[in-house]
Amino acid sequence: MARGPGCGRQGFVRPSEAPRNAHVVAKYINQFTEQLLQALGMSVDPDSFAVSILGHVIAAMIHIFLLLNLVAVGALVFIWMERKISGRIQDRLGPTRVGGKFGWLQTLADGLKLITKEDLMPEGADPLLFRIAPYVSFCASLAAFIALPFAGQDMPFVAQHLNVGVFFILAVLGLEVFGVILAGYSSASKWALFGAMREAAQVVSYEVPLGLCAVVPVLLAGSMDLIFIGDCQTGWFTNWYVFHDPFTFIVFWIYFTCATASVNRAPFDLAEAESELVAGFHTEYSGLRWSFFFMAEYGSMLLVALLASILFLGGWNGPIPVARLIGLEEGGWLYATMWPGWGTYLAGLLGAVNVLAKGCLGITIMIWIRWTLPRLRIDQVMTTCLKYCLPIAAIMFLGATTWQFVIPGRAFFGFLPASQTAFEVKENWSDLLALPRQATSSPEDAPTHDPTPNPQPPPAAETGPKQTHRPANSPQPLTRK
Amino acid sequence: MDTSIYWPTFLFWFFAAVCCMFAIGVVLATNIVRMAFYLVLSLAASSGLFFLAGADFVGAMQLMIYVGGTLVLLIFGVMLTSQAKFVSMKTSQFDWTLAALAGLCLLAVLISAALAIPEWKGLERAEAESLGIPQTATPLGMGLLGARVDAPQRSGYLLVFEIVSVHLLVVLVGAAYLARAKRKRSTAVG
Amino acid sequence: MITLPLANFLAQPVGVSQFVIVGAIMFTCGAVCMATKRNALGILMGIELVLNGANINFIAFGSPYLRSDAGSLGMDGQLMSLFVIVLAAAEAAVALAIALNFYNNFNSIDVDRANQLKG
């Protein structure tokens, strides 16, 4: 299906071809409400003003509830994991009392304790900014989950399907630094201020190589859409972008380093180092406000780990394509035994488990590194960023571009052909460029006449998918089965 | 007529209210750090307005560059220069009155111009709902490289892109040079 | 019903004029901020507000959701907005460097202190 300029204005995707989750859920809620009210004896017009609000508000609340749960429960689990892993690394047990032999509920008990603490504020502090700083951090951390998908293909598990997903997540991740700066400044304490400035400088500096590393999978996939990037890695683990070429392999490790520095985890956690700055920017915070900072930190850790898993590690595609092997995909035997749509939903659930497992793996490695390596000084942190991470990321980016130019359409370091179930390129702009093209045998229909006034009519020859300029080896056209 | 709520309109008014309220807050605040915070919220809300108008790439870029970069820079500057705790410099009442008068006149002219053009009234709801989700990343990227894929009779922006890139380089080198750590004079002047 | 005028208000799409009004308010706030603040960084914030108001206008003129005729700017609006954002960042960096230099030399960020051409 060509998505050329013939289908609607300026290449828009029609609403029917791009179901938006919230609208679908809202429609069902509205229908349910109408039936409920009819059963109760009242008849109400579902298109009226008051009732139409209800469906969408509840749908949005469900999405936010799920994301909030993910971040909060995730923070709970990861704090417990951190204490257990750090205990084992340090040859001790970690929490063992609350909630059974393994101390599952230790974090919950700590949270309850924090809620009961006294609500302090330093005397010289700015009241508004002091109170609002933890929530700014937490909101930035949570807002980035809006664009993060947990399963893809036909039924994406995403709160908002953005075309510029990668860019949006990186942008919102960079807003977390405001909470830190406000906390440090409004605490009226020089330790807090120093910690906040160092942390802000570190986070802002590491955003540059982080962005450069995140752009490499975008370049390989051809789109900033996270669902598209994940779907380009379907199949076996050989299709994952981390194994695509040696440059991307190195870029993954640089990305992981920059991500660890960007969320202020050790060995880059000078800003919160107990031995150096009392506690950095959250020195004056106690109780629930302090716990919000920590939820924001663990939320950001989860976010960058999930982003790494989608960009590099295949996202919702496991190392072995289980859903395809057991027939759960469309056209498979197991799919046919279920109600329509359920097979896709279950495959999506499997995918979500995959994504979360890879995210947890990333966080485990971050925890492991924290308790293994010594802390870096602030000048060493800046040196690592500006003298090592940034040049290496830039050179690897050039290398990945050159690789994609010279050996296109291959996977797993060039040994295997590209994935057979990869999806077509969604945007087909080549017919307007009037560039010399090869005649391809792709089953694309010719674009209809462009309705906008255009002095050069679109060429009558058939169009192919987005082409590169090399005549010799044109890339394998990626078509949907 | 369809009377169910049209969410883009509601969201527009929400973001517009936040944006304008915090912009007025920037003008009226006396503490410089609070001014910076209100500015952050105002620009973040205007990024929401960009998303609503279909410019998702520009909206994300506003968040990343403007809010996440320029304003962080601004806040650093605020902290480096306001070491005296919450120093406030008051403007005289006469200056305030004059500025408010001029501002109100300007606002009146702009609003009357905005409301005077009939093509700016807005689309019909059915027509607006028939539009889909825009794909702006590729046309923007190709436009910056000189090939306009959305409206081929218009010119590309390659020259402007190059000029802006060199401009940014020059500006950053210059700013870093200007703000370099110099040997501070032992006595303050004036 | 009470919600009827609200329903009429919130059931129709917004046009370019509403966006331009928001941009005008931002612009005026920025201009008043530039005119009244004595802190150099306050003036810089006014400049940011002005540029943002102009950005809102550009995006509104180029949005396909707000106007349908061929007079729309199309992608040009967003491209111009992109350049405005980039140039605003560059100009903020330079202005901040100047403000920092001023602070280091005069130990005050008050622009009313900068009333001599000497030095």
Q: Which residues fall within 8 angstroms of residue A340, CB to CB, at 6 or more apart? A: none
Measured CA to CA, the distance from residue C56 to residue B20 in angstroms comes to: 12
Residue A153 has pLDDT above 50, yes or no: yes
Would you say A80 and A107 are in contact if contact means Cβ atoms under 8 Å apart?
yes
In a domain, A29, yes or no: no
Cβ within 8 Å, pair A129-B34: yes
- How much is the pLDDT for A388? 94
User: Please, what is the Cα angle at A134 between A130 and A138, to 5 degrees?
Assistant: 155
How much is the pTM?
0.85
Answer whether B133 touches A (CB < 8 Å): yes
Would you say C32 and B100 are in contact if contact means Cβ atoms under 8 Å apart?
yes
In CATH, what number is assigned to the domain containing residue C85? 1.10.287.3510
Give the pLDDT confidence of A390-399 residue by residue, as tens digits. 999 999 999 9
In a domain, A91, yes or no: no
Tokens of B24: 């007025």
Cβ within 8 Å, pair C70-A453: yes
The C residues from 40 to 69 touching B (CB cutoff 8 Å) are 40-42, 44-46, 48-49, 52, 55-56, 59-60, 62-69
* Mean pLDDT score across all residues of chain A: 77
Nearest CA in chain B to C12: B125
User: Please, what is the Cα angle at A228 between A223 and A233, to 5 degrees?
Assistant: 110
- Can you give the three-state secondary structure of A60-72, one letter per residue? HHHHHHHHHHHHH
Cβ within 8 Å, pair B40-A178: yes
What letters, b where the CB count within 10 A reaches 16 and e where it falls short, cover B62-98? bbbbbbbbbbbbbbbbbbbbbeeeeeebeeeeeeeee
User: By C-alpha distance, which of A164, A246, A252, A177 is closest to A207?
Assistant: A177
Would you say A271 and A281 are in contact if contact means Cβ atoms under 8 Å apart?
yes
Measured CA to CA, the distance from residue A267 to residue A273 in angstroms comes to: 10
Q: φ, ψ for residue A43 (rounded to 5)?
A: -110, 130
The minimal CB distance from A13 to the residues B132, B138, B139 is found for B132
Residues of chain A contacting residue B145, judged by C-beta atoms under 8 Å apart? none
For tokens 């399963």, the residue is A151
- How much is the pLDDT for A14? 36
In a domain, A249, yes or no: yes
Q: Strands A416-417, A410-411: parallel, antiparallel or unpaired by DSSP?
A: antiparallel
Residues of chain B contacting residue A168, judged by C-beta atoms under 8 Å apart? 56, 60, 63
Grade residue A252 by pLDDT with cuts at 50, 70 and 90. Answer: very high
In a domain, A57, yes or no: no
Tokens of A224: 């900033």
Measured CA to CA, the distance from residue A288 to residue A281 in angstroms comes to: 15
Would you say A220 and A311 are in contact if contact means Cβ atoms under 8 Å apart?
no
The tally of domains found in chain A comes to: 1
Q: Is the peptide bond between B134 and the residue preceding it cis, with omega within 30 degrees of 0?
A: no
- How much is the pLDDT for A478? 36
Measured CA to CA, the distance from residue A350 to residue A382 in angstroms comes to: 40
Q: Which long-range contacts (CB under 8 A, 24 or more apart) does C101-108 make?
A: C101/B178, C101/B179, C102/C40, C103/B80, C103/B81, C104/B182, C104/B184, C105/B185, C105/B189, C106/B188, C106/B189, C106/B190, C107/B188, C107/B189, C107/B190, C108/B190
User: By C-alpha distance, which of B135, B133, B155, B153 is closest to B144?
Assistant: B155
Answer whether C16 touches B (CB < 8 Å): yes
Residue A462 has pLDDT above 50, yes or no: no
Q: How far is A320 from chain B (nearest CA, A)?
A: 33
- How much is the pLDDT for B50? 94
Answer whether B18 touches C (CB < 8 Å): no
Measured CA to CA, the distance from residue A228 to residue A369 in angstroms comes to: 31
* Domain that residue C55 falls in: 14-110
**Partners of chain B (3+ Cβ pairs below 8 A):** A, C
* Domain that residue A342 falls in: 117-417
Cβ within 8 Å, pair A49-C7: yes
Nearest CA in chain A to B154: A454
- How much is the pLDDT for A278? 64
Q: Which residues of C touch A (CB under 8 A)?
A: 3-4, 6-7, 10-11, 64, 70, 74
Measured CA to CA, the distance from residue A309 to residue B180 in angstroms comes to: 40
Measured CA to CA, the distance from residue A289 to residue A303 in angstroms comes to: 21
Residues of chain C contacting residue A48, judged by C-beta atoms under 8 Å apart? 7
- How much is the pLDDT for A460? 35
Tokens of A425: 């390129």
Q: E strand or H helix at A399, and its extent? A: helix A390-406
In a domain, A20, yes or no: no
- How much is the pLDDT for C113? 82
Which range has the worst mean pLDDT, A196-205, A440-449, B2-11, C19-28?
A: A440-449
Distances A277 to A184, A190, A274, B76 between C-alpha atoms, Å: 12, 9, 6, 19
Would you say B128 and C13 are in contact if contact means Cβ atoms under 8 Å apart?
yes
Other C-beta atoms lying within 10 Å of the C-beta of residue A338: 13
Nearest CA in chain A to C5: A49
3-state secondary structure of C110: strand
The tally of domains found in chain C comes to: 1
Nearest CA in chain C to B8: C13
The minimal CB distance from A49 to the residues C11, C64, C70 is found for C11
What is the average per-residue pLDDT within A48-69? 81
Give the best-scoring range by mean pLDDT among A181-195, A345-359, B92-106. B92-106
Of the CA atoms within 13 Å of residue C46, those in its CB half-sphere come to 21
In a domain, C50, yes or no: yes
Residue C32 has pLDDT above 90, yes or no: yes
Measured CA to CA, the distance from residue A164 to residue A21 in angstroms comes to: 17
User: By C-alpha distance, which of A291, A292, A304 is closest to A264?
Assistant: A304
Residues A182/A185/A186/A187 CA torsion (nearest 10 deg): 120
Tokens of B46: 């205007």
Cβ within 8 Å, pair A223-B137: yes
In a domain, C83, yes or no: yes
For tokens 């199949």, the residue is A235
- Determine the number of helices (DSSP H) and then strands (DSSP E) in chain A: 17, 2
Grade residue B99 by pLDDT with cuts at 50, 70 and 90. Answer: very high
User: By C-alpha distance, which of A9, C67, C1 is closest to B151?
Assistant: A9
In a domain, C118, yes or no: no
Which range has the worst mean pLDDT, A49-53, A197-201, A268-272?
A: A49-53
Instruction: State in Å, rounded, how far the first CA of chain A is from the last one.
Output: 11
For tokens 């005028």, the residue is C5
Residue B22 has pLDDT above 70, yes or no: yes
In a domain, A53, yes or no: no
Measured CA to CA, the distance from residue B71 to residue B75 in angstroms comes to: 6
Distances C88 to A430, C52, C99 between C-alpha atoms, Å: 33, 9, 16
Q: E strand or H helix at A83, and its extent? A: helix A49-89
The one-letter amino acid at A204:
V
In a domain, A350, yes or no: yes
The DSSP secondary-structure symbol of A476 reads P
**Partners of chain C (3+ Cβ pairs below 8 A):** A, B
pLDDT, greater one: B79 or A142: A142
Measured CA to CA, the distance from residue B65 to residue B59 in angstroms comes to: 10
In a domain, A441, yes or no: no
